[in-house]
Amino acid sequence: MSPRRRITGKEPDLYTAPPPKPPRRWGLPIISMVAGVLIAAAITASSLMLVSHETDRRTQNRDVEVLGYVQSFMTTYTTLDPYQANYYGDRIQSQATGEFAKMFKEKINEILVQVARSEPTQGSVMAAGVQRWNDDGSADVLVATKVSTKMPDGKTIESGNRWVVTAKKEGPLWKISNLIQVI
């Protein structure tokens, strides 16, 4: 027998090429990539909105904090009791700093004499708003006040004033560093 074989057309071909692969389907990979990009964009947008929201919330909290303090101070500042003039001077001095503290300390005796000679008054804040925040962390606040004075004859006199108050935070406490009456 010879090592050679006779090949007839009926036998399968042993050395045929593999069948062609089906064409690659790009739909699922493209959809996956688009979905990934959309998810990343949504996470980025959500993060940016959260940061913006937190910044606005902090600003609003600072505004509320400074407005509450300034309204309280201006009510105290415009409410005079001639029987407790020294107490009035001590309260105002304890809440003063900077230029306002210096001015108040220089004129404390004159102020106490005027308070002692005045009629009792009741001050109130009609409106207040933050004008601007300064670079040093202080805030300029516009304040409209009303002062009611009851005269000895029973009449009540009311007057209004506008102020620009500069409040500065020293440690955990707010203090008044400037107080200007606006005409």
pLDDT tens, residue by residue, 1-51: 456 666 566 666 666 777 888 888 888 999 999 999 999 999 999 999 999
Q: Which domains does the chain have, with CATH numbers?
A: 65-182 (3.10.450.50)
101 in Cβ contact with 93 (< 8 Å):
yes
Closest CA to 127 of 56, 74, 77: 74
45-53: long-range pairs with CB below 8 Å, 24+: none
pLDDT tens per residue, range 44-101: 999 999 999 999 999 999 999 999 999 999 999 999 998 999 999 999 999 999 999 9
| C-alpha dihedral sign at 22, 23, 24, 28 | negative
Rounding to the nearest 10 degrees, give the CA dihedral for residues 99, 160, 94, 151: 130
**What's the pLDDT score for residue 35?**
97
Q: How far apart are CA 31 and CA 181, in angstroms?
A: 66
Q: What is the rounded radius of gyration, in angstroms, for the C-alpha atoms of the chain?
A: 40
129 in Cβ contact with 67 (< 8 Å):
yes
Q: What is the DSSP letter of 14?
A: T
148 in Cβ contact with 94 (< 8 Å):
no
Token pair belonging to 104: 């108040």
Q: How far apart are CA 164 and CA 170, in angstroms?
A: 19
CA 26 to chain centre: 50
**What's the pLDDT score for residue 127?**
94
pTM comes to: 0.75
**What's the pLDDT score for residue 5?**
63
**What's the pLDDT score for residue 155?**
86
Q: Is 180 helix (H, G, I), strand (E, B) or coil?
A: strand
Closest CA to 160 of 182, 131, 129: 182
